[in-house]
Amino acid sequence: MEKTNVIAHLMGFPAKLKDKVMEIVKKTMKIGKDDPRKIWHAAKVGLALNLVSLFYYFRPLYDGFGQSAIWAVLTVVVVFEFTAGATLSKCLNRGFATLLAGALGVGAKYFADLFGKEGEPIVLGFLIFTLGAVGTFTRFFPHMKRKYDYGILIFVLTFSLVTVSGYRVDEILELAHQRLTTILVGAATCMIISLVVCPVWAGEDLHKLVCGNLDKLATFLEGFGSEYFSFSEIEESEKASKEDKGFLQAYKAVLNSKATEETLANFAWWEPGHGSFRLRHPWKQYLKIGVLARECACHLQALTSYFNSNPQAPTEFHKRIEEACTRMSMESSKALKELASSIKTMTQPSSSAADTHLQNSKIAVDDFKSILATTKTPLLSNKLDLLEIVPAITVASILIDVINCVEKISEAVEELSVKAHFKKVKNKESSPSPKKQPQQQLLHRGIVKPVVDDVEGGDDSVVIEICGGTVVAAVAPAEVNSPGGKKGEAQKESVNIC
């Protein structure tokens, strides 16, 4: 029996291997299709490795650097990252750390020689212990860890290698020069390729991430009102499928975006000016918007627990607050969409309708408070079941908190637009219309006099005389009985305005 199972397993192995290979191919194609930049990144790493390998392929280069040429290859493998900011961060950290550590290592070697052969290892050990301990402790500082952690690590490593190897090697200056040169060449190769060949900017990814998070919050709020206050039989029959709807899960990505935002902001700080982003672009302001967005997402997470708590039959109270709560949700959603669009297009948010939607949401809050004030007395007198009303009041209260968060996000976006010098777009809708003032004057100074002419088969019209001029506007025929006229005849009206 066991032999039969083994034979069957061996016979089915080719088919399983084929299925596994096809699965890997499909996953590879999906990754490349979702983000073609990853394919370019792999090609750029291969190009960089080929270029630094020339230290080994060409004899003159190999004779000049020897085995130290391997450091160029190691540098490319270690520092070449997906985004240009991450690559620049590692390259600059590695370059400056290697330069400083190499200089200190050579100085430590000559300083230790002053103490003779017996005292040299003791002095070197003390220096390695001191700088290694200080450098390692420096990595615990939040600011140093965020921006210079890799550089401090390379500093400790390089100083230790140069100091220890210099104890047995007499030509310490030549050794340090070879290693430093090859490392700088490898780092320079990575930076040039990363910035020139299809660069991937961390700042641009952060910009899109923040915009996408605001859009996700808006999508949730857009569908929340209609879903929570749905009491029809058809919607109740589809209640089980609500959890599968995308907008219910959109906010979760916002809650988990903190680490990504902080990493992208750190790498974007190292990047040069590119596109619409200047050299000193306020990347920290994106983090502030991200914090407020996650605060709003926490309120949305609280709202999701009330999706299944709405009663099968709506109470009178639910019907009365439905319009106000739906307006709060929809207007907040529209405001977030306007703010996201403002960031995406890099325009001043004052040119959008975000403020208008925020004001509309606050009006809806006032309406809800008025309804709550007028409903409080009947509730107490009729002794209704408060357990059916408390969830609805809680939902409205959370929506009010959401509106407050949206207002804070609006202020943060406004601050970002000022610091980043977003362009201003004139809002045509908010500009005063030149026709409004004359219309107000016409309402006060116009004189309308009905005039009826007996024109058989004619059309009704309005004659408007403005300061001696006459404008005739045709209107729909009307059956009127006017003095001096007949039913079905043409009617004219004259308006004299001086």
Q: Given this model, what pLDDT does residue 323 score? A: 86
Quote the CA–CA distance of 15 and 186 in Å, as a whole number: 45
User: When comparing pLDDT for 12 and 46, which is higher?
Assistant: 46
Distant-in-sequence, close-in-space partners of 267: CB < 8 Å, separation ≥ 6: 81, 83, 85, 86, 88, 89, 202
> Average pLDDT, stretch 86-106?
92
- CA–CA dist 229, 307 (Å, integer): 9
Helix/strand/coil for 459: coil
Q: Provide mean pLDDT across the span 362-382.
A: 73
Q: What is the pLDDT of residue 494?
A: 43
* Domain residue extents for the chain: 38-196, 202-230+247-420
Structure confidence by residue, pLDDT tens digits, 123-133: 999 999 999 99
For a pLDDT cut of 90, what percent of the chain falls above it?
36
* Whether residue 377 has pLDDT greater than 70: no
> Beta strands 446-451 and 492-497: pairing type?
antiparallel
| Alpha-helical runs (H) found in 66-171 | 70-79, 84-113, 116-138, 142-166
Both tokens assigned to 262? 């902080």
What is the distance between the alpha carbons of residues 74 and 37, in angstroms, rounded to a whole number? 23
Crossing angle between the packed helical segments 70-79 and 84-113, to the nearest 10 degrees: 140
- Side by side, which strands form the sheet with 446-451? 446-451, 492-497, 461-466, 469-474
34 pLDDT tier (thresholds 50, 70, 90): confident
- Average the pLDDT over 445-452 and give the result: 44
Task: Tell me the average pLDDT across 162-190.
Answer: 82
What pLDDT is stored for residue 471 in this prediction?
41
Q: 108-118 pLDDT, tens per residue?
A: 888 988 888 88
Mean pLDDT confidence for 352-380: 78
Q: How much is the pLDDT for 243?
A: 47
Please determine, looking at this structure, whether the domain spanning 202-230+247-420 carries the CATH number 3.40.50.
no
The amino acid occupying position 404 is N
- Give the residue-averaged pLDDT of 321-340: 90
Compute the average pLDDT of residues 410-421. 91
In this predicted model, what pLDDT tens digit does every residue of 484-498 receive, in sequence order? Answer: 444 444 444 444 444
| Tokens 């007395």 -> residue | 377
Residue 429 scores a pLDDT above 50: no
**Separation of alpha carbons 365 and 54, rounded Å:** 70
Write the single-letter amino acid at 221. Answer: L
pLDDT digits (tens, 9 = 90+) for 278-318: 888 999 999 999 999 999 999 998 888 776 555 555 567 77
Tokens of 491: 């009617």
Check residue 89 and give left, alpha or beta (phi > 0: left; psi -120 to 50: alpha): alpha
